[in-house]
């Protein structure tokens, strides 16, 4: 890896290890710039920083940016100074249209929506990627050199990465979306960027094909080091670290442990909840909500992690048949046995199927439940929430609402807790699904006005890693 060995040794800084056990312990900046560990595993902190209940309770009423600093600084120690981190966090959230950044809204019956869509691209990925962009440009400036970011997107990561990294010096951003599988608004948010360092690829394939090309490019170590390849997908631990924050702010605001329902694709957002729990947060339960791409629901409920064919649904950002971050949860659930994790992941790569051992499954089921909802149920949930509350929700949030409605029998077995549904996107990003369900179009927020009149830049490419590699090289040489 191009970054290896460049950081001066600092005994105070937090070290990160790979889930597959074959990578040297790395600093936060190494992890930020590398994305994936060189052994193909995912980075996690060597030990989780700890917060006391008093520290967590004190987050109540605090500015979101200050809570973010308290949490992120535990990870970035030794890699960024306090001032650098504070400046990065303030810049990251300056363009959000809600002062609370992640407002918690009560919708009745002890249920809440945690609104995560107030950033520049109207989906929750802004919350982490805006911070990542800021830290990235600082880390690159400190080290010198350029970086090439390649991101596979099911719709929202791409636009959020472009909003966070477009126009930054020393960085090129290549974003691959599955052609025809993202909403018009999602595509326009990506392809209308005017920044010269932004390159859009419409891949003739699925999101999983795009993600698999990214993995192939990373495994081509000569290419990866020649272009200083890096990833900003949720495999990048910095994203998980930034996403822990709203689990803390929501819990502090409620004052009691909550059941968090998380619309899930790549398992990044919900794993951030597990991370918060491992750092001392009291939570009642984490509920995985999937659409018809139900690999995670099947894994939890049947004990077999097996990818099937990918289905196009009303919630395209969750149309995923490989949940990359599940590797992190598996690593924790097997008590950090890196050899087992590495073997399990190589079995899964070969067979597209992994039987989860009983002890590991029991550990996962101790904190997770899972439910899947199809498009019909998703539309019904959008309609029901609109009828009952007058609120328009997006189809991803609606998948969460479906799971929350399924909680009844489970909740009667547990002490009562507020149910917090993560509301991951603004409904205006998915006007067709919303109109089908409610009969009315969601109002268009100012950020989207005029998008349709801008010209688009994108390259349509076949599902072939070699072609993608050539395209990247030719753009970098231009
Ligand atoms: C990315 C995304 C998700 C899924 O999050 P993961 O971290 O991939 O599980 C859910 N909803 C929306 C709107 C998204 O953009």
Please tell me the distance from the alpha carbon of residue 68 to that of residue 461, in angstroms, as a whole number.
Answer: 39
Q: What is the CA(316)–ligand 1 centre distance, in A?
A: 9
What integer pLDDT is reported at residue 255 of this predicted model? 96
Facing residues of 259 across strands?
285, 419
What integer pLDDT is reported at residue 2 of this predicted model? 43
What integer pLDDT is reported at residue 144 of this predicted model? 84
Q: Whose CA is nearest to atom 8 of ligand 1?
A: 266
77: confidence class by pLDDT, cuts 50, 70, 90: very high
Tell me: the pLDDT tens digits for 405-418? 998 766 666 668 99
Q: What is the CA(265)–ligand 1 centre distance, in A?
A: 5
Q: Give CA torsion, residues 223, 224, 225, 230, to 10 deg.
A: 150
> Which residues are designated catalytic?
125
Q: List the structure tokens of 218.
A: 């990373």
What integer pLDDT is reported at residue 336 of this predicted model? 98
Tell me: the pLDDT tens digits for 33-52? 988 898 989 999 999 999 99
4: confidence class by pLDDT, cuts 50, 70, 90: very low
Q: What is the CA(425)–ligand 1 centre distance, in A?
A: 9
Neighbouring residues of 190: CB distance < 8 A, sequence distance ≥ 6: 153, 158, 159, 162, 175, 177, 200, 458
Taking residues 436-464, what's their average pLDDT?
A: 94
What does the mean pLDDT of the chain come to? 93
Tell me: the pLDDT tens digits for 287-336? 999 999 999 999 999 999 999 888 889 999 998 888 999 999 999 999 99
pLDDT exceeds 90 at position 215: no
Which residue segments constitute the domains of the chain, with CATH numbers given? Answer: 104-122+238-438 (3.40.50.1100)
What integer pLDDT is reported at residue 1 of this predicted model? 39
What integer pLDDT is reported at residue 315 of this predicted model? 95
Mutate which of 211, 235, 324, 396 for ligand 1 pocket (most atoms within 8 A of beta carbon): 396
As for ligand 1, residues whose beta carbon falls within 6 Å of it are: 123, 125, 156, 234, 263-269, 317-318, 396, 424-425
9: confidence class by pLDDT, cuts 50, 70, 90: low
Share of the chain above pLDDT 70, in %: 96
């Amino acid at each position: 890896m191009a970054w290896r060995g460049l950081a001066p040794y600092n005994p105070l800084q937090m070290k990160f290890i790979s889930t597959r056990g074959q990578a040297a312990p790395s600093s936060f900046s190494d992890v930020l710039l590398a994305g994936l560990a060189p052994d193909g595993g995912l980075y996690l902190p060597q030990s989780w920083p700890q917060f006391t209940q008093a520290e967590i309770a004190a987050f109540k009423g605090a500015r979101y940016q200050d809570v973010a600093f308290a949490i992120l600084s535990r990870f970035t120690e030794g890699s960024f100074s306090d001032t650098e981190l504070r400046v990065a966090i303030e810049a990251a959230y300056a363009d959000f249209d809600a002062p609370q950044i992640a407002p918690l809204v009560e919708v009745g019956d002890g249920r809440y929506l945690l609104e995560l869509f107030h950033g520049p691209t109207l989906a929750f990925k802004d919350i982490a990627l805006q911070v990542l962009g800021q830290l990235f440009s600082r880390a690159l400036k400190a080290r010198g050199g350029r970086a090439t970011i390649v991101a596979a997107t099911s719709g929202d990561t791409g636009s959020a990465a472009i909003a966070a990294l477009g126009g930054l010096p020393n960085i090129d951003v290549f974003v691959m979306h599955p052609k025809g599988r993202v909403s018009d608004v999602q595509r326009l948010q990506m392809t209308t960027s005017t920044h010269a360092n932004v390159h859009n690829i419409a891949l003739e394939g699925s999101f999983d094909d795009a993600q698999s090309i990214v993995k192939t490019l990373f495994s081509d170590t000569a290419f990866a080091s020649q272009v200083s390849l890096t990833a900003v997908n949720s495999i990048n631990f910095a994203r998980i670290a930034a996403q822990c924050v709203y689990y803390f702010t929501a819990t502090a605001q409620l004052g009691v442990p909550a059941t968090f329902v998380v619309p899930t694709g790549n398992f990044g957002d919900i794993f951030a909840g597990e991370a918060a729990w491992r750092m001392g947060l009291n939570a009642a339960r984490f509920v995985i909500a999937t659409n018809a791409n139900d690999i995670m629901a099947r894994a939890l409920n049947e004990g077999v992690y097996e990818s099937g064919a990918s289905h196009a649904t009303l919630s395209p950002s969750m149309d995923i048949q490989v949940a990359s971050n599940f590797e992190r949860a598996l690593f924790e659930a097997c008590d950090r046995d890196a050899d087992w994790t590495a073997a399990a992941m190589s079995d899964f790569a070969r067979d597209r199927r992994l039987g989860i051992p009983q002890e590991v499954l029991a550990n996962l089921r101790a904190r997770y439940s899972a439910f899947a909802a199809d498009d019909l149920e998703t539309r019904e949930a959008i309609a029901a929430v609109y009828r009952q509350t007058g609120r328009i929700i997006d189809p991803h949030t609606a998948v969460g609402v479906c799971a929350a409605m399924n909680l009844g029998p489970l909740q009667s077995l547990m002490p009562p807790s507020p149910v917090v549904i993560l509301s991951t996107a603004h409904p205006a990003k998915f006007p067709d699904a919303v109109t089908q369900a409610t009969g009315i179009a969601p109002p268009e927020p100012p950020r989207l006005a005029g998008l349709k009149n801008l010209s688009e830049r994108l390259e349509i490419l076949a599902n072939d890693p070699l072609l993608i590699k050539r395209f990247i090289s030719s753009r970098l040489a231009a």
